[in-house]
Structure 1
């Protein structure tokens, strides 16, 4: 390094340090807006190193500054461009942004000289003039660097983990079910108003920046309203009742395979809705979606799950293919006969997503399931008792679903689905077959009464056993489901702030348990969700 250059850089450093030391407190307070501006510049304007001026697509030899740019690139290698290969030379530039670029060039020139390079006297004089002109801005940059160093040191000393983030959700629920009698027989509904809670803590760990290991801890005492009313369709979409004992609710790992595939492997709580897009963006969440369990998404997605693997394969910008194999996590870890990963209850499924436009999403899903006797639940606990287990024996089923969501304009979303299940009884002696249908439509009016608020409506037919037959050897016994249950939900999601949402609402069940002789059941609730 030449003596002149050493003196220049040394003088710049001393001047910078003296200025920061003399006015550090004042700079930190008075120039906070400047620091924020520089931080925004550094964050938003991601750049890439340029080795030749011809790499900049918007710079041509006819530009008045072409020779200057070529000199900086070829002689000092201190010009950077945007990721899209542009320089954007006509963009207005503040003094602080110029100082940030000048500081980067100084550092690059110093590294070059340490390696034996040379700087011309003309460029040396220009650097000296620029240092004098931008002394205050460079001092501000120094204060920012010192401030960032202090913050990093504090985070290193106090952070929870270098790889793991904690996020959580807490629900307070006030509500109850009402009606004259239970849907599964004589007797009154348990209609006391209750106050209950659910807590979820997610530990999300990333090892590469593109993957995620999720460990969820969960506790709650929100009761299942099917036990209060006698029908699954009355269940809340967020019920969890483990006596507020902390349990592992989910444990799965998501990671990329190449540029177009995302893979999932889970041991606890991995569901199809974690892998597949259920195509119900405004109602799928248990914390901020539908109040009813049925209203969250097509029951076709519910079934034996918890342990297994799946993937999403992007076939283009608008088409995605997904597949998964999931076993009941209660049996996947057991070596006992008719258990384990491949010989117990399972779900195997595939889905094709298609987005014809930015505002329309369509999906078609197919699942194949097997459930042992005593575990059969064809409705995902969202419909009638008949639809859940029409046989009382083990069953395999083919399940089909179509879903759609359409954002009409900026303030109104229309969605819905239809699902069909064809099940076969599995027994050496007894035979049987059953058909189960369900459908729903929903509407979300956005920003009603304020930004972030949502007025939602859901109407549909929870899973209904439409036809079934069972033959014990003396001829088939046929069931024809003539009565239909209908559910209607109305809710208003009020966003208090980014972390608190209050959702009052109610849903009504007509002809619960596919019996028009049953009294109507009403569920009213106020769900308050805290997220952090």
Structure 2
């Protein structure tokens, strides 16, 4: 049975109701889906656009059964809102709340027509039909209004109490229990160890708070606060090769240790300006995704990534990254100055210690990444590998100003989503620039294995093995022994915000001295993120 509705189209009453409220299902769906999400309702509603012709809908065709009814509602009442992408989505399901929201929207439009002296467009039959529908869905309309009112109140509260409209706080706290073991304190190659290694169990912490601010949505200002009291194991073992990857500090004094600003110069170019605390390993890919983080990666200092990424650490500088879309090749370049803030002679941005860095990355697939890296460093106070090799390797010329050329290759292979194999190798040549002119050659390598979801989803089992930097030749001679680094760890994901990582670090022949006893470091790290 059919009847004439608004004197326009003969369709069944069921079709009338379906068409009438489907006409506003786009707006109603947004209300229903977003009504419980604080702060999103107004944004989504603003994205809806009133259409003036049914032809504006890309998914509505003249052959559709409701085409004439939709056309009538558009031309006569202007009572249809579309999605921002120009679609109407007339075939989607309609809930009673969406039905009520559609009714309310059209009632508002009818009232507007009456108020603007265009009531002749609305017949008595129209009003009677709308009145019956309004009565039928009065409960839903009341509930919907209540939910919207509650949403507005919650949004107002959030806006009043939020920390900042541009800044997010991201924190990390590490609680660490650790102890080093061994027979004798390690000494450099050529000497004989004599002092007994005596160490106590320690409980210490490191806390970081990052403030990330964005002003355009594509830029980021980072300010990091840091405090810690994790004393280096080298104070009892005699070697920096036993250091943890997150040690430093002793008094938990809070300091601002990092300030930088990154922005997109174009879709393919990213620029990062470091005012202080510059670290190459946070600016470029280190090809060690499972272990590069100090708080959630390897336990040791050497196990996090290749020492080539420690060149020019803690200073100021500029990092440039070029990553063309859909290209497997990307390029990074950087200039870092360790004492850029110091105006005295042999310091500053260009006259003091500095590093020029370049890296070419090749990613032919999601499973395989390889990088070729070069760094040229000038150091007024030599520490060539930032305390990751033997003491002789870090300062082979007895404190003379040093220039070094560092070459590295790094790779990561993921044969499956749960297995990652990686590694690095590096070769360095160095020359003294003051005093007697001397030179030295160095070599190092490392290999990593990460097994994800081991025992439980989110857990990571890791093994790291390698040879830290060693002097292999040059006028200074070479170190007689070879140190090997072995590390086993198991990161247990307690929750999304808590991870517990027990592990053991073994240093064979520390300081590249075969006369030294092996050094062991047992560690239990608990990391909280918030």
TM-score by length of 1: 0.81
Q: Aligned partners of 1:410 and 1:149: how far apart in 2?
A: 43
Alpha-carbon distance, 1:517 to partner: 1.7
Asked if residue 363 in structure 1 is aligned to residue 371 in structure 2, the reply is yes
Alpha-carbon distance, 1:39 to partner: 3.8
Q: 1:485 aligns with which of 477, 483, 486?
A: 483
Local SS of the residue matching 2:325: coil
Asked if residue 347 in structure 1 is aligned to residue 359 in structure 2, the reply is no
Alpha-carbon distance, 1:413 to partner: 1.6
Q: Aligned partners of 2:120 and 2:420: how far apart in 1?
A: 63
Q: Single out whichever of 119-128 and 243-252 deviates more from structure 2.
A: 119-128
Q: Single out whichever of 58-67 and 215-224 deviates more from structure 2.
A: 58-67
Structure 1 residues 453 and 45, CA gap change in structure 2 (3 angstroms): farther
Local SS of the residue matching 1:277: coil
Query: What is residue 76 of structure 1 aligned with on the other side?
Result: 78
Alpha-carbon distance, 1:492 to partner: 0.9
Q: 2:171 aligns with which of 168, 172, 183?
A: 168
Q: 1:520 aligns with which of 518, 521, 524?
A: 518
Q: Single out whichever of 281-290 and 71-80 deviates more from structure 2.
A: 71-80
Local SS of the residue matching 2:275: strand
Alpha-carbon distance, 1:402 to partner: 1.9
Q: Aligned partners of 2:438 and 2:168: how far apart in 1?
A: 50
Structure 1 residues 186 and 167, CA gap change in structure 2 (3 angstroms): same
Contact 1:50–1:73 at 8 Å: present in 2 too? no
Query: What is residue 318 of structure 2 aligned with on the other side?
Result: 309
Query: What is residue 323 of structure 1 aligned with on the other side?
Result: 333
Structure 1 residues 120 and 258, CA gap change in structure 2 (3 angstroms): farther
Contact 1:57–1:86 at 8 Å: present in 2 too? yes
Structure number, greater radius of gyration: 2
Q: For residues 222-275 of structure 1, what are the alpha-carbon distances to aligned partners after superposition, in whole Å with 9 as ceiling and x for unaligned?
A: 011122212221110010214111111211112222333222112121211221
1:10-29 matched pairs, under 5 angstroms? none
CA RMSD of aligned residues (A): 3.3
Query: What is residue 387 of structure 1 aligned with on the other side?
Result: 393
Structure 1 residues 365 and 60, CA gap change in structure 2 (3 angstroms): farther
Alpha-carbon distance, 1:150 to partner: 1.7
Give the count of matched residue pairs: 485
Q: Aligned partners of 1:115 and 1:380: how far apart in 2?
A: 77
Asked if residue 415 in structure 1 is aligned to residue 417 in structure 2, the reply is no
Contact 1:73–1:79 at 8 Å: present in 2 too? no
Q: Aligned partners of 1:116 and 1:269: how far apart in 2?
A: 69
Asked if residue 402 in structure 1 is aligned to residue 409 in structure 2, the reply is yes
Contact 1:170–1:531 at 8 Å: present in 2 too? yes
Asked if residue 121 in structure 1 is aligned to residue 122 in structure 2, the reply is yes
Structure 1 residues 265 and 482, CA gap change in structure 2 (3 angstroms): same
Asked if residue 264 in structure 1 is aligned to residue 272 in structure 2, the reply is yes
Contact 1:315–1:321 at 8 Å: present in 2 too? no
Query: What is residue 216 of structure 1 aligned with on the other side?
Result: 224
Alpha-carbon distance, 1:481 to partner: 3.6
Local SS of the residue matching 2:383: coil
Asked if residue 147 in structure 1 is aligned to residue 156 in structure 2, the reply is no
Q: For residues 467-521 of structure 1, what are the alpha-carbon distances to aligned partners after superposition, in whole Å with 9 as ceiling and x for unaligned?
A: 122xxxxxxxx41345221111111111111111111111101111111221111
Q: Aligned partners of 1:112 and 1:311: how far apart in 2?
A: 59
Q: 2:242 aligns with which of 226, 234, 238?
A: 234
5+ residue gaps, structure 2, are: 1-30, 188-192
Structure 1 residues 149 and 181, CA gap change in structure 2 (3 angstroms): same
Q: For residues 65-100 of structure 1, what are the alpha-carbon distances to aligned partners after superposition, in whole Å with 9 as ceiling and x for unaligned?
A: 4555666677738443365x6655544443445555
Query: What is residue 9 of structure 1 aligned with on the other side?
Result: none
Contact 1:300–1:380 at 8 Å: present in 2 too? no
Query: What is residue 286 of structure 1 aligned with on the other side?
Result: 294
Query: What is residue 207 of structure 2 aligned with on the other side?
Result: 199
